[in-house]
Amino acid sequence: MQRKSPKKVLPLSKVYALLESGPVVLLTTANKKGANTMPMSWHTMMEFEPPYVGCIISDRNYSFNILKSTKECVISIPTKELLKKVVACGNTSGRDTNKFKTFGLTVATASAVKAPLIDECYVNLECKVIDTKLVKKYGFFVLEVIKAWIDSKNKMPQTIHHQGKGEFMVAGKIIKTSSKKK
Amino acid sequence: MQRKSPKKVLPLSKVYALLESGPVVLLTTANKKGANTMPMSWHTMMEFEPPYVGCIISDRNYSFNILKSTKECVISIPTKELLKKVVACGNTSGRDTNKFKTFGLTVATASAVKAPLIDECYVNLECKVIDTKLVKKYGFFVLEVIKAWIDSKNKMPQTIHHQGKGEFMVAGKIIKTSSKKK
């Protein structure tokens, strides 16, 4: 038999911070004016292989129009050591700041897109936009990862996970289970 | 000047495990035959308020057709203590198993949807499907959270984050920063 939940009602405005705890990534785009990067937490895998990634970019972000028109980007995964720089990238805009120069991030040439890789990040993923059907309504882009780069020397990457209002959870210990899932 | 990345190429098949580290959730649906739940890691926030959540459910999952037809579900967030039960829910199917009974999960009545809440979970979110445009192509459902429940006594919820092949990262320590973002 079902009973009434013993839990307290949570304001709907607090829900997002409970769910968005995937790793914070840096989304890098490039156009004639140069390259720019922004932190992003609202993303999900959509397919294993080829890897599709869905992500939300607000049209208030400088990156929105660049991604929409160039249809290319790089997703980089930073670790704990980069947290201050990641926050600095989020507190500024590419409209008036060269974030790579200002915050000391080293760019490297990608193989298949114009946006650069970020050396200090644990992983770099070169992506093409493959579906824009939900961009107008939600800012939801579907990306295909076409090339992936990893720092294979980093065996314990401490990714960072935004939990709303500037609080970040740092990846903790790993547990192995008998899950049969990929 | 840009230089070539010093990193190694990563097989594309390994990309998904790097990005899916949002909290594992249990997605619960219900139809005439009863309620069923499945673990899910592929989800993203899409809007702050009202909270929209996008998620991928494969059409191979028993839950797919139920969600598609009932347009309702509950998203529950388990913590570390529930890991074994979460894995057990993923290793079985609602086609032939009553997971709540078999694995000892306590259901509670939701306020606005027929699918039940799960008491043992830290958070329960009642959801309605609001957009199915990308369901056929990707299994991507857009949900609106219409009611949220939280265990407010749990101040340090150790969420679990699937990293592929049965490895789970347990939420680690929290760092506060000067981020201006929500």
* Inter-chain Cβ pairs, chain A and chain B, closer than 8 A: 312
Q: Which domains does chain A have, with CATH numbers?
A: 13-170 (2.30.110.10)
Q: What is the mean pLDDT of residues B2-13?
A: 57
Look up the ipTM and state it: 0.90
- What residue type is B172 in one-letter code? G
DSSP category for residue B139: -
pLDDT digits (tens, 9 = 90+) for A47-77: 888 889 999 999 999 999 999 999 999 999 9
Is B5 within 8 Å of A149 when comparing Cβ atoms? yes
Query: Is residue A7 very low, low, confident or very high in pLDDT (cuts 50, 70, 90)?
Result: low
Q: Is B166 helix (H, G, I), strand (E, B) or coil?
A: coil
C-alpha A22/C-alpha A39 separation (Å) is 12
First to last CA, chain A: 34
Q: What's residue A29's pLDDT?
A: 98
pTM of the model: 0.91
b/e sequence B96-117, b meaning 16+ C-beta within 10 Å = ebebbeebebebbebeebebbb
Q: Which residues of B touch A25 (CB under 8 A)?
A: 19
pLDDT digits (tens, 9 = 90+) for B58-101: 999 999 999 999 999 999 999 999 999 999 999 999 999 999 99
Q: Is B100 in contact with B37 (CB distance < 8 Å)? A: yes
Q: Which residues of A touch B39 (CB under 8 A)?
A: 181
pLDDT at B1 over 50: no
Peptide bond into A78 cis (omega under 30): no
Q: How far is A65 from chain B (nearest CA, A)?
A: 18
